[in-house]
Amino acid sequence: MSRIRQDVELDGILLQKSLRKPCRVRAVRIFLSELNFDVFVKTQVIEIGAELPDGLYELCFEGRSFRIVKAGGVWSKTYQHAMV
């Protein structure tokens, strides 16, 4: 199976209750040619237009959603599977 890895920066949206903030996301896109499918790994929030409080958020980009957490000012994935 052929795999193509590509570093990408994408527009995303951070959601929390009634909050909806645009952001930039850096990730590695892996395209699986035989399945005609791509996955994203090493996802990072790299830019947000406003400071957001610590808490649990949903990060949406490219038709996918991930749960992420901001704690002590640092963003990290919660390591739950992507919600498509």
Closest Cα to residue 70, out of 1, 9, 16, 17? 16
For residue 79, which phi and psi values (nearest 5 degrees)?
60, 35
- Per-residue pLDDT tens digits for 30-63: 998 888 888 888 888 888 877 888 999 999 999 9
Place of tokens 């749960």: 67
> For residue 79, what pLDDT is reported?
55
Which carries the bigger pLDDT value, residue 50 or residue 24? Answer: 24
Instruction: Check residue 73 and give its pLDDT.
Output: 82
Nearest-angstrom CA–CA distance, 5 and 30: 5
pTM as predicted: 0.79
As a whole number, mean pLDDT of residues 14-28 equals 92
Q: What is the pLDDT of residues 73-83, one digit of tens each?
A: 888 876 554 44
